Amino acid sequence: MTPQQLTIHEAHKLLKARQLSSVELTQACLERINQTEPRVHALVAVTEELALRQAQKADQLIAAGDSHPLTGIPVIIKDNMCTKGIATTCSSRMLQNFIPPYDATVVERLNACGAVTIGKANMDEFAMGSSTEHSAFFATHNPWELSRVPGGSSGGSAVAVAADETIYALGSDTGGSIRQPAGFCSVTGMKPTYGRVSRYGLVAFASSLDQIGPLTKDVADCAVVLNAIAGYDSRDSTSVPEQTPDYTQCLTTDLNGLAIGVPKEYFVQGMQTEVETAMRAAINKLEELGARVDWEVSLPHTGYALAAYYIIAPSEAMANLARYDGVKYGFSYTDTDSMWEALEKTRQLGFGDEVKRRIMLGTYALSAGYYDAYYLKAQKVRTLIRREFDQAFEKFDALITPTSPTVPFKIGEKVDDPLQMYLSDVCTLPINIAGLPAISIPAGFGDGLPIGMQIIGKPFGEETILKIAYAYEQATEWHKRKPKI
Amino acid sequence: MKLSREEVLHIALLARLGLTETEVDRFKEQLSNILENFEVLQQVDTTDVPPTAQSIPLQNVTKGDEVVDSLPPSQILANAPRREREYFRVKAVLE
C-alpha cells in the first residue's frame, strides 16, 4: 500500500512509530495529485508550500512526542471555508480573488491539531448544486467513471478522498452536499447535527441548514475528524453549548438491542433497481449484526420535503448573497458611474446560472403577496417533517435510507434541467430540514458505480449512527475498493 | 404558476440582479416549472402548525460585553475593490 492510500488511523500509527514522516506522506499525496488531477479536476488550489511547511512542523511535534491523531495528516478543505491568506473562492467568479484575513473555526481547530492543508476543493458555486458541474471554473469528474458526476456540492472533497489525493477532506452539507457525493464516490461522509460544528468562517448559503462535516476513507476516521471539529464556538450563535463525547469510543460491532427503522417513502419514485437491491442487502446485513429492523416505517410528509427545501434554502440564500455588492470584497463591475448599474452588473457577471436561479427563486418566495403561500407554508411543512422524525425516534435508534435514489449520473445529463438535478437530493435534504445528523457509507455497486447507504440519527445522536456505520463497514469490504484511476 | 416576463424582471430588480435577454426567457420557463411543481405544498394541512425557522432549541443568543481584538483596517480593506485611505470607496449614492 502506498502512503496516500492510508487512512488517518493507519497513517497516525506509522507516523507515531516513526516508520513514515509527515513530509513523506504529504509528498506522496502531492505526487498523486499531479497524477490524477488532469483527469478528475477535484481541486481549485494545491497549497504545496504551506503543506510542506506544516508537515515539517508536524514531524518536529511527533519527534517531541507531542502528537494528536491528526498531526501530520494531509487534508483538503472545501473552498467555501475561509483559510487565512489563501484564496477562498466558493468556485465562483464573485470570490475568485478573495483572500480571507482569518481562518474558519474548523480550519483553526485542524491547525491546532497539527494538520497539513494540501489544497482547496472544487464545488458547485456557493455550494448550490448536486454534481459539481455548477463550479464557475471546471466540472469535477467521478474517479469510478470519468464521464459521470461525483455528486455535489462537495464533489471535489469526495473525489480527492476517493482518488487518494488526500487522507481526508472537509465538506459542507446544506441539503446533501457531503452525503450525496460521498455516496457517489464510495467514501464515508457525515453531516453532523445542526449546531454541532461551528459555521464561523463557512461562506453562508442557507444559514438554518448549513453544516460542516468530514469526508473520510472509513468510519473510524470520520470519528477522529469529528472529535477535532465538533464543539461549542462562541463565534457561531447557532453553535450548541453542549459537551462533545469522544466519538471513537462508540465504534463497536455488536448491534444487539438497537432498533432500526426503514422509512418506506424513501423506496419509491424513480429509484434504480440496483440501488434498491443493494439497500435491501445492506439492511439484511444490519439485521444479521443484531439490529432489530422494522421495514414498514412511514414518514408521510417525505414527499413534500423537496418543495419545502427548495423554497427555504433559496430564500435564505438570497438574503445571504445580498452582501455581494462589489464594495467590500469580491468581484466588482466599475465601468459605470451609476451605483445601481454597478450593483446589478456586479451580480450579473459575478454569479453563475444556478446561483442566479436560486436568488430569483428565493426573492420570489419572499416577495409581497407570495410570502404566505411559499416561504411561510414551507416553514410550517418543515415543522411537520421534524415532528414526524421526532415521533419515529421515539421508537427507533436510527433510520436507514439510500443516500441517493440513483448511481452517479452522466456529466451534462441534468445540468440544463434544474428540477431533475434537485431530485437527486431527495433522500438527503429532509435531514437538513429537520437538523438531524446522518452519515453515508459505501454499501455496494451497481454496474461498477458506487451506492451509498444513509444512516440517520436523532439530534446529537452521532455516536449511534457511527456505531451502526462502523459495524456494517467491518462486516463488509465495499470501503476497501478503490477506483482504477 | 406561470411567471410573466414582467414578473421575472420585477424579481430581478428586487434582487438587484442584472439579467440578459436570454436569461430572462430561460428563467421564465425554468422558474415557472419549478414553482408549478412546488404547488404540491398547498395540499398539506398546516392548520395550527407553527412555522420552524431553525432546528435547535436556542433563542436570543447574546455574548458578553467584552472587549476583544479585531482585525486591523489594513486587513479588512485588503480585499476592497476600490478604497481611499482607510475607507471603502463607493459610487455616488445621491446625484
Q: In the structure grid, which three cell numbers stand for residue A457, read together? A: 440519527
A121 φ/ψ angles, rounded to the nearest 5 degrees:
-95, 145
Is the pTM value of this prediction over 0.90? Answer: yes
Residues of B in contact with A422 (CB under 8 A): 34
How many other C-beta atoms can be found within 10 angstroms of the C-beta atom of residue A296?
Answer: 8
Which amino acid is residue A189, in one-letter code?
A: G
Tell me the shortest Cα–Cα distance from A151 to chain B, in angstroms.
21
pLDDT tens sequence across A49-65 = 999 999 999 999 999 99
What was the pLDDT predicted at B59? 86
Q: Decide: helix, strand or coil at residue A289.
A: coil
| Ramachandran region, residue A16 (left: φ > 0; alpha: ψ -120 to 50; beta: rest) | alpha
Q: What span, in angstroms and rounded, lies between the C-alpha atoms of A220 and A223?
A: 5
Whether residue A334 and residue B20 make contact (CB cut-off 8 A), yes or no, is: no
How many other C-beta atoms can be found within 10 angstroms of the C-beta atom of residue A99?
Answer: 17
The ipTM is: 0.96
Find the residue in B nearest to A353 (Cα).
B23
What was the pLDDT predicted at B58? 86
Catalytic residue among A92, A153, A198, A424: A153
Nearby residues of A398 by Cβ (< 8 Å), 6 or more positions away: A258, A260, A261, A455, A456, A457, A461, A464, A465, A468
Which of B23, B55, B93 comes nearest A435 by C-beta? Answer: B55
Q: What span, in angstroms and rounded, lies between the C-alpha atoms of A281 and A272?
A: 15
Q: Is the dihedral of CA A315, A317, A322, A325 positive or negative?
A: negative
Q: In the structure grid, which three cell numbers stand for residue A158, read together? A: 469526495
Q: Is the dihedral of CA A201, A205, A210, A211 positive or negative?
A: negative
* Average confidence (pLDDT) per 10 residues, chain A, 485 residues: 96 97 98 98 98 98 95 98 98 98 98 98 98 98 98 98 98 98 98 98 98 98 98 95 95 96 89 96 98 97 97 98 97 95 97 98 95 96 98 98 97 94 95 98 97 98 98 98 96
Match domain A3-256+461-480 to its CATH number in 1.10.260.40, 3.60.21.10, 3.90.1300.10, 3.40.640.10.
3.90.1300.10
Match domain B5-43 to its CATH number in 1.10.287, 1.10.10, 1.10.20, 1.20.120.
1.10.20
Residues of A in contact with B88 (CB under 8 A): 327-328
Interface check for B74 against chain A (CB to CB < 8 A): the answer is no
Active site residue A410: no
Which of A240, A326, A436 comes nearest B81 by C-beta? Answer: A326
What was the pLDDT predicted at B57? 83
Whether residue B31 and residue A379 make contact (CB cut-off 8 A), yes or no, is: no
A483 neighbors A40 (Cβ within 8 angstroms): no
Find the residue in A nearest to B14 (Cα).
A363
- Cβ-based contacts under 8 A for chains A and B: 166
Q: Give yes or no for residue B95 having a pLDDT over 80.
A: no
Calculate the CA A444 to chain-centre distance.
20
Find the residue in A nearest to B63 (Cα).
A234
Reading across the β-sheet that carries A211-216, which strands appear in turn?
A43-46, A116-121, A74-78, A168-173, A211-216, A188-191, A438-446, A449-457, A398-402, A259-263, A292-297
Whether residue B55 and residue A361 make contact (CB cut-off 8 A), yes or no, is: no
Q: What span, in angstroms and rounded, lies between the C-alpha atoms of A380 and B45?
A: 9
Q: What span, in angstroms and rounded, lies between the C-alpha atoms of A217 and A442?
A: 10
What was the pLDDT predicted at A268? 76
DSSP A323: G
Q: At what angle do helices B5-14 and A353-366 cross, to 10 degrees?
A: 90
pLDDT tens sequence across B11-69 = 999 999 999 999 999 999 999 999 999 999 999 999 999 999 989 888 888 888 999 89
DSSP A213: E
Active site residue A130: no
Residues of A in contact with B37 (CB under 8 A): 307, 419
Q: In the structure grid, which three cell numbers stand for residue A163, read together? A: 482518488
What was the pLDDT predicted at B63? 84
Nearby residues of A68 by Cβ (< 8 Å), 6 or more positions away: A113, A114, A228
Q: How far, in Å, are A124, A204, A213, A321 from residue A81 at the CA level?
A: 14, 10, 12, 16
Pairing type for strands A43-46 and A116-121 reads: antiparallel
Active site residue A153: yes
Could you identify the residue written with the cell 467521478? A142
Q: Decide: helix, strand or coil at residue A274.
A: helix
Q: What span, in angstroms and rounded, lies between the C-alpha atoms of A362 and A427?
A: 22
What was the pLDDT predicted at A270? 79
Tell me the shortest Cα–Cα distance from A298 to chain B, in angstroms.
16
Residues of A in contact with B76 (CB under 8 A): 101
**Start-to-end Cα distance in chain B:** 40
Which of A:165-224 have CB within 8 Å of B? 194-195, 208
- As a whole number, mean pLDDT of residues B61-81 equals 92
Q: At what angle do helices A219-229 and A462-474 cross, to 10 degrees?
A: 160
Q: What are the sequence ranges of the domains in chain B? A: 5-43
Whether residue A334 and residue B82 make contact (CB cut-off 8 A), yes or no, is: yes
DSSP A295: E
Interface check for A19 against chain B (CB to CB < 8 A): the answer is no
Helix boundaries (H) for A169-247: 179-185, 219-229
